[in-house]
Amino acid sequence: MSVESVKKNALTVIEEASNINTRYGFDNLNKKLSDAQKTVGDFKINAPLIGLFSAGKSSILNKYLNIDLPVGIEAKTSVACELVYDADEYLEVVSDKNESSRKNIAELKDLTIENCSFVRMHLNNNKLANLKYITIVDMPGLDSGYEQHNKAIKNYINSASYFIIIMDIENGTIKKSLLDFLKELDLYSLNFGFILSKYEQKDEADIENIIKTTKENILNFIGKDIFVGKVSVFNSDISDFENILSNMQVVAIAKNCLYSNLKSILEENLLKELNRKLKYDRFDIGEINKNIRELEKKAQDIEKSIEKEAYFIKNKANNQLTDAIISDISNTLSENVDMLVMKAKENSSSFGDTINQLVRPVIASSSDRHLKELFSEIYGRLQVNFNSIVGELQIDSINIGSLEEGNKLIDAGMDVIMEMLKKYLPTAGVTAAGTLAATAAISSAVTLSSVALPIVGVLIASLIPFFGNLLKSNREASQNENIKSQILGNIIPSVLLQIRGKLDSCISEQTDAFIKAVREKFDIEQNSIKEALEKAKKDKEISENEFNEKLELLKSDIEKTEKLILQLNIDGE
């Protein structure tokens, strides 16, 4: 199977789903299918090159493309740069509002994250022309500052991406900052390959040993067996880099990206509504009126439950979550105090960057864990309450084909889907489907990780003269102990104090977003049920023959939709 056949199949499914929906006009489905059609048409796999500054990313690109890109810019001002084929060569600058402007390629060195989101470099290059479904992205270095890194990376974690990690082989072993980033990729189930650059500096035995050790470190850290290759621009050997691009599983990535999104739309917005309509079309008018009244009464109880849980979640978040996350950060910094001593003796920038590198992944993983537990607990209770609304809608026993199976689908469909909620939560654009709790957890990991950004400013700058005094001792052991004492007794508490206030604010935003999403989810479900009942009531008022014909057509459309979903089997050919 090819990417084109995957796209063709997806477009066929979209067209047939649209034809079915023309008979029912389910709210928002036309737009979702239209958006899905555009996603299919524009499908590309992004291949961001990630590594520490001076790891050799740009040199590898220059060798691969056989050109000299203007990449000699400071790490702290660099932006993500997509490389695309075009007969007309220019720089397309994309703003945070997704507005584009045209510049000369030489102006790349003047761009920063303050004046653009990312850039797209249009080049008349045969190598790029041959990468039909792949867009290479030259990324800022991982050590370019976390604001730059966060802003650059957010455009690619929620799309079809395959990350290529570049590490200078001179490092010998993979640095923790890189391992932490790989953990982030794993959190979002993203694929990646690993390249060791500048191997001409090592002999063959050392190279093989470093490759083996790197593979083992990655396997032990995230539990994945990842391809690790080597390149040397000096030796004009970038074959492993080219192999990653040529052997990328583009069909599998296309299926996962396009089919998963489309399957979610069909299951949650078409099949679910068709089954719901089938269920409520069987009510007589008296039953419909009774259930509408019961639904309105139950909705008031649900609103009271949400208010109660909102108070509970805010109280628990304010009193427990921040303390738990701060404790995790404190433990990590204390466990790495010897490394912090070493960095403090180097320079303030190294010291501050190291604190950020330690803190950022802890905030992401700790907030993910603690918020997920809390949100799952709350949502579980509310879901039980809401299901009671549907459970008490009674119908007479009637023998119409596979209605029992249809009811099972309705009940299963009550789980909230990320597709419905992503417009409410802060990380709009996440494409993978999941529960509300999982959505909130992913949202928190992205948003809360940003609180590490400001901790190295005035705090670190003010400590430089202080560290200077500590270094006046002649004995290194005494220096180290003095610095360690100050880090444990003063610096870590100061860092935690700064982070605490920002954590409180971020957690408050997350819990507010969660409660809003839950409330709107239940409103949507309640309104959908009520609309289905009202439509069924109107349908009942037409002649019995016309009603039965519509019922048979509805059952037929359900079967068609189920077949379309089977057609989106990611694992099949």
pTM, two decimal places: 0.59
| Residue predicted with more confidence, 554 or 525 | 554
Pick from 389, 392, 420, 384: nearest CA to 299? 389
Give me the mean pLDDT over the 158-178 stretch.
81
pLDDT value at residue 469: 55
Q: For the sheet containing 45-51, what is the strand order? A: 100-103, 90-94, 118-123, 81-85, 134-138, 45-51, 162-168, 191-197, 228-230
pLDDT value at residue 445: 40
Give the span between the Cα atoms of 119 and 102, in whole angstroms. Answer: 10
Helix axes 492-540, 272-280, angle to 10 degrees: 40
The type of residue at 114 is: E
Q: How many CA atoms lie within 13 A of 455 on its CB side?
A: 29
Instruction: Report phi then psi at 450, rounded to 5.
Output: -75, -15
| Residue predicted with more confidence, 505 or 195 | 195
Give the model confidence (pLDDT) of 482-521 as tens digits: 888 888 888 888 888 888 877 777 777 777 777 777 777 7
**Helix, strand or coil, per DSSP, at residue 48:** strand
Task: Give the domains, in start order, of the chain with CATH numbers.
Answer: 46-248 (3.40.50.300), 254-566 (no CATH)
Q: How many CA atoms lie within 13 A of 287 on its CB side?
A: 14
Give the span between the Cα atoms of 38 and 388, in whole angstroms. Answer: 39
* Spatial CB neighbours of 246, under 8 Å, sequence gap ≥ 6: none
10 Å CB burial of residue 286 (0-12, 13-18, 19+) is exposed
Give the model confidence (pLDDT) of 284-305 as tens digits: 666 666 766 766 676 677 777 7
* Spatial CB neighbours of 18, under 8 Å, sequence gap ≥ 6: 30, 33
Helix axes 436-448, 492-540, angle to 10 degrees: 150
For CA atoms 311, 315, 321, 322, the dihedral sign is: positive
Helix axes 322-335, 348-391, angle to 10 degrees: 150
* Confidence band for 466, pLDDT divided at 50, 70 and 90: low
DSSP string, 323-360: HHHHHHHHHHHHHTHHHHHHHHHH-HHHHHHHHHHHHH
pLDDT value at residue 211: 92
Most confident of 202-216, 311-325, 476-490: 202-216
Pick from 81, 83, 79: nearest CA to 67? 83
Pick from 240, 218, 286, 255: nearest CA to 572? 255
* Confidence band for 266, pLDDT divided at 50, 70 and 90: very high
